[in-house]
Chain A
Amino acid sequence: MKPFTYERATSPAAAAAAVAAKPGAKFVAGGTNLLDLMKLQIEAPTHLVDVNRLGLDTIEATPDGGLRVGALVRNTALAADSRVRRDYGVLSRALLSGASGQLRNKATTAGNLLQRTRCPYFYDTNQACNKRKPGSGCAALGGYSRALAVIGTSKDCIATHPSDMAVAMRALDATVETVDGGGRTRTIPIADFHRLPGSTPWIETALTPGEMITAVTLPAPVRGTHIYRKVRDRASYAFATISVAAILPESGTPRFAFGGLAHKPWRVAAAEARLDGGAKAIAAAALAGATPTSQNAYKIPLVERTLAAVLAEGRAA
């Protein structure tokens, strides 16, 4: 690791001000992604602001029947909260499908949203990667791309966002609350939070430098069957090749969000209107315009088959 200085923040606004004031400064929450990348010198912050003890670790009911999840709530605590288990099953399952028991005890709500891609070339500092080194090129194009994105890609980056939790939050229409270095607060719909790579793949979210996540708010629950189905190379403790977060209400429009397909959780309104056409029609609409590589083209039929399994599970529930 490169040397850095360390401070324990005293309030969210002070933390944001501290990061905004110092170029090269970063927040540290659970540390499970940031420290991993710092050891490999893929991230090299000069200053770390520890946001762990600011009282942002509670889950509170909102006036409109939803839940406000503090940025520092651990993945285990969120998955195990009785209200989340009862009313937001898709989120509980998505969280539990990610990482390991040990990691989920540390990983936080904000840190999970902001985890970086698992593209193998992003991790290998000897390779060209626009995300790690802007302008250096993209070694994944024409390289080993089996795990990478099939839709929303650009000629500069075909990475995926690796989070399971974020896919469920996209299906739930969560909103992200922040405070910036000047103390200003705002809310960002999850649909606008993560960006597509375009020509600036190193800009991954709508956050401005020094802007800190304080909470994620879930709207009032959507009743129905909640399913999170994750397909991966081993049965546990592995990232998704693809995943489907589904909410199937007794009547009305279903919701489908997909992981492992794009640089952000993938959700297409037109696909949700195609329930009558079954898995084939939903998958076709969700994947319209997909540009897979020869190595990850298998994801296209896999989406349809996983959707078929999800719909069957929904009918059986």
Chain B
Amino acid sequence: MTDTNGFSLTRRGALVSGVAAASTTALPLDAQPLPAEARAATVPVSFTVNGKKRALDLDPRVTLLDALREHLHLTGSKKGCDHGQCGACTVMVEGKRINSCLTLAVMHDGDEITTIEGLGKPGDLHPMQAAFVKHDGYQCGYCTPGQIMAAVAMLQEVKDGVPSYVSTDLTAAGRIDAQEVRERMSGNICRCAAYSNIVAAIADVAGAEDVA
């Protein structure tokens, strides 16, 4: 495991060994023979993730989220619900935010994908990451990578003139206030309910004046 946070045992490492210890009597998963019909033919796919070309050979059932987390070990994107209901898995594909849990990796051949790992690094944070730190835009942090990816792409949507359900004038140029932030970020659920600080962080980056 690559050690990015300076500790010899990461939280994830502890979690994995904990699970292994609890299931010593069970067969390791990959030792169980799969019935023939359960072994789907793999499909080659290559895409660019955070500026790096990646080529994979995948069971077509693998979602983009699982490809990123389990195959490329980019565990920043989180799996909250796996059904498009929480936003924890939000990544950008070709610059647009999507739920990576509801799309197949093999559907993204040739695409440019950005995850939270590609947005900024410790010591070189993206302004949105820095604003979440400054405004305490999280408690447990589980929803945070998805919130940040969604927020960055959301501000681009406003610049691109995408209206929202609460925009009073559909044809007017994009304007951002607290109501707009809440509506446009409704696809990201925070179980810790850090919403007011999340709105403040996004407003800070957007330069919005009337955002409470």
* Chain A residues in the interface with B (C-beta under 8 A): 1, 3-6, 8, 28, 30-32, 35-36, 39, 48, 50, 52, 76, 79-80, 82, 85-86, 89, 92-93, 96-97, 99-103, 105-106, 235-237
Contacts of B96 in A (CB 8 A): 76, 105
* A3–B60 alpha-carbon span in the complex (Å): 8
A85 CA to B168 CA in the complex, in Å?
A: 12
Residues of B within 8 A of A (CB): 37-41, 43, 59-61, 63, 82-84, 87, 90, 96-99, 102-104, 106-107, 109, 150, 153-154, 157, 160-165, 170-171, 182-188
A39 adjacent to B107 (CB under 8 Å): no
Given contacts A3-B61, A105-B96, A106-B98, whether A100 and B170 have CB atoms under 8 Å apart is: no
When A28-B104, A50-B107 are in contact, do A36 and B84 touch as well, CB less than 8 Å?
yes
User: Which of A6, A52, A105 is in CB contact (< 8 Å) with B43?
Assistant: A6
Residues of B within 8 A of A93 (CB): 165, 170
**Alpha-carbon separation in the docked complex, A39 to B163 (Å):** 32
- Number of A-B residue pairs, CB cutoff 8 Å, is 115
- Give Cα A5 to B43, complex, Å: 9
Chain B residues lying within 8 Å of A96, measured Cβ to Cβ, are 163-165
Given contacts A3-B37, A86-B171, A237-B187, contact A80 B161 (CB under 8 A): yes
* A102 CA / B135 CA spacing, docked (Å): 24
Known: A102-B99, A237-B186. A92 touches B170 (CB 8 A): yes
Q: A3-B40, A28-B104, A92-B170 are in contact. Are A103 and B163 (CB under 8 A)?
A: no
Main secondary structure of the interface of B (DSSP, over half): loop
A6 touches B106 (CB 8 A): yes
Q: Which of A4, A30, A80, A85 contacts B60 (CB 8 A)?
A: A4
Known: A32-B84, A36-B84, A106-B103. A85 touches B183 (CB 8 A): no
* A229 CB, nearest partner CB in chain B, Å: 11
Cα distance, A96 to B170, chains bound together (Å)? 11
A85 touching B171 by the CB < 8 A rule?
yes
Q: In the bound complex, what is the Cα–Cα distance between A80 and B183 (angstroms)?
A: 16
Closest chain A residue to B167 by CB distance? Answer: A96
Interface centre among A28, A31, A52, A97 (most CB of B within 10 A): A31
CA distance A312 to B98 in the complex (A): 37
> For A4, what are the chain B residues with a Cβ–Cβ distance below 8 Å?
40, 60-61
Q: Is the CB of B60 within 8 A of A89?
A: no
